Structure 1
């Protein structure tokens, strides 16, 4: 049995809502709202019921999507930690432009209800600020939304960005925008972000992630990040993210363990190669390893709707590759397989090569 407490200053579009009001609102959104509002209404009803847990779907970017149960008490703790880190106080204004079907959108609602924020909704399109004409204290976006909102991004004073890799071109653009933008590290199992790093300063490229309060980090035998955060998870969260820990509170993310390519006995992180290539290419692509008789695995560049000859010419101009990093071949596919939230599903997309 969970007794949901709603902050007395929680409001939607400036109107205060009590727990009783939310019951009526939830049903109204489900019955009469647009599709994205129906999901918001459904989550509100789940949040205020007596169950101590919420079922949340993982994104499926690194495996099959699955439902996991998160404790509401731990979701509250996550909201409090975010509020403390970003100095969000009651009556601060926040924009929800992510779908409430996944953890990032759900937690924006939780933060508003727990911290007493004034939340506004817009459809979670690829250009969410298109019709927005006012400023907000806080918001969250995925990189694709950021790329399509650069001219109006100053309307969100503090912006967290996650859900997919951020391209080098976006990183450069953010340095000239008059707001505070942060890259986040986290996952559904950690109830969104557990670490952030600023993106606006000129040294942002070499800045490590800094973990939020009450979180301890370490690595396992594979060099992958282990997160010990008793306020948000009953057990340590063992990730598949290879990291370089530089202090008890800071780390560099190197790449996914399950993406590592063993080429001629050298372990290569495709994410690093992608960062290099993204300085020269702005079409969708990713780097992967495929079987090779001589090397065991060879590095290949997989591109969506590109011209192979042009891409080869671009690769030949790049001098930043280390040994074994330059792609040995280029594969062009008509369309990548993506999750509902827009993340490229590498392994499923690679399976297209065999069909």
Structure 2
């Protein structure tokens, strides 16, 4: 039987129990009717996946703009699952942990992989410490950086972890150097049905380029932003807002978001590059941004979450040898708590609005 969204793999298990098509439909209904909030999301997705439609509606994360609803073909989602299984050599019987929100594509695809590839998948509530009450060993898991940070003492119970949703901070990379688990940083989005490129995290060897999965061709547009042609997961050529250094049609270095670029007095600053430099000094959540300025057009600011002395931080930043004078923030703001999107990413626009800069 060839893989298809119309079939349940005969070896598929969900929390230790095998489900055929009808049993899985019954489980989905019971989760929606009686489950906790995160279980309701799982049930709703399963009901959508098991219906007669050949596509499914999903919502983008909203981390760089307003969330929107798009339709993804189930056939393409199957293709994505097959590509992941092949790349990581995770076949029938793979023991996987689902700890991401099923409201978003990364969580949905963990379930699709299990159903299509015959994995044995367990699900837990999507918290910042998903391994807190779970000591079982697993072959495969997908997490966001915050979950990895909260699970450092337990990561060795997982064979392979893929990390997505946000860049991995310098501090977290240093802490991961002591972990035996195979760790991969992923690049992708809802429109590409999660990752279409992978970067392995190797101890002592940082800044590897992202390498695309098979059947993915890469190029750039006039802005230097990544263009993705991946016919097995998207009928359309996808033009992103991600600035990249394109190495080849299958390899690139991610620089940052085009829509985040700050033009300060004619000098273009990429926030993500600056944040990587500042991460050696700041342990709490933070980001840099540009705000209107009558002389510079935009001035560079640094926004930090929590409780920190902005003057002391400013002096530390000025002492960094890795930055130029243009990369020193003109102002530093400290706020108690950032505004987040539905899947835990920082909403920069709404957080800046808290500063009441007018």
Is TM > 0.5 for Structure 1 vs Structure 2? yes
Would you say 1:253 and 2:268 are equivalent positions? no
Distance of 1:198 and 1:132 partners within structure 2 = 26
Would you say 1:312 and 2:331 are equivalent positions? no
Distance of 1:343 and 1:11 partners within structure 2 = 31
Residue 63 of structure 1: aligned partner = 65
Q: Kindly indicate whether the alpha-carbon contact (under 8 Å) linking 2:5 and 2:74 is maintained by their aligned counterparts in 1.
A: no
Q: Kindly indicate whether the alpha-carbon contact (under 8 Å) linking 2:288 and 2:301 is maintained by their aligned counterparts in 1.
A: yes
Residue 218 of structure 2: aligned partner = 217
Between 332-341 and 45-54, report the one with greater CA deviation: 332-341
The counterpart of 1:30, out of the listed 32, 35, 48, is 32
Aligned with 1:294: secondary structure? Answer: coil
Structure 1 pair 62–3 and aligned structure 2 pair: CA distance change class (3 A): closer
Q: Extract unaligned runs of 5+ from structure 2.
A: none
Deviations 1:59-87 (A, max 9, x none): 11011111111110000011011111111
- What is the 5 A alignment of 1:1-355? 4-203=6-205, 205-305=206-306, 306-353=308-355, 354=357
Between 14-23 and 182-191, report the one with greater CA deviation: 14-23
| Matched positions, count | 353
Structure 1 residue 315: deviation in Å?
A: 1.5
Q: Which runs of 4+ in 1 moved over 3 A?
A: none
Structure 1 residue 12: deviation in Å?
A: 1.3
Q: Kindly indicate whether the alpha-carbon contact (under 8 Å) linking 2:218 and 2:248 is maintained by their aligned counterparts in 1.
A: no
Structure 1 residue 38: deviation in Å?
A: 1.4
Q: Kindly indicate whether the alpha-carbon contact (under 8 Å) linking 1:174 and 1:200 is maintained by their aligned counterparts in 2.
A: no
Structure 1 residue 296: deviation in Å?
A: 2.1
Distance of 1:29 and 1:295 partners within structure 2 = 54
Structure 1 pair 301–3 and aligned structure 2 pair: CA distance change class (3 A): closer
Aligned with 2:248: secondary structure? Answer: coil
Aligned with 1:133: secondary structure? Answer: coil
Q: Kindly indicate whether the alpha-carbon contact (under 8 Å) linking 2:5 and 2:78 is maintained by their aligned counterparts in 1.
A: no
Structure 1 residue 245: deviation in Å?
A: 0.7
Distance of 1:81 and 1:42 partners within structure 2 = 25
Structure 1 residue 6: deviation in Å?
A: 1.1
Q: Kindly indicate whether the alpha-carbon contact (under 8 Å) linking 1:3 and 1:50 is maintained by their aligned counterparts in 2.
A: no
Q: CA RMSD in A?
A: 1.4
Structure 1 residue 323: deviation in Å?
A: 4.6
Between 181-190 and 331-340, report the one with greater CA deviation: 331-340
Structure 1 pair 13–335 and aligned structure 2 pair: CA distance change class (3 A): closer
Distance of 1:206 and 1:139 partners within structure 2 = 22
Distance of 2:125 and 2:202 partners within structure 1 = 26
Q: Kindly indicate whether the alpha-carbon contact (under 8 Å) linking 1:223 and 1:242 is maintained by their aligned counterparts in 2.
A: yes
Q: Kindly indicate whether the alpha-carbon contact (under 8 Å) linking 1:263 and 1:296 is maintained by their aligned counterparts in 2.
A: yes
Distance of 1:200 and 1:45 partners within structure 2 = 39
Structure 1 residue 184: deviation in Å?
A: 0.7
Structure 1 residue 35: deviation in Å?
A: 1.7
Distance of 2:135 and 2:305 partners within structure 1 = 34
Distance of 2:157 and 2:267 partners within structure 1 = 46
Q: Kindly indicate whether the alpha-carbon contact (under 8 Å) linking 1:177 and 1:200 is maintained by their aligned counterparts in 2.
A: no
Structure 1 residue 302: deviation in Å?
A: 1.1
Between 70-79 and 25-34, report the one with greater CA deviation: 25-34
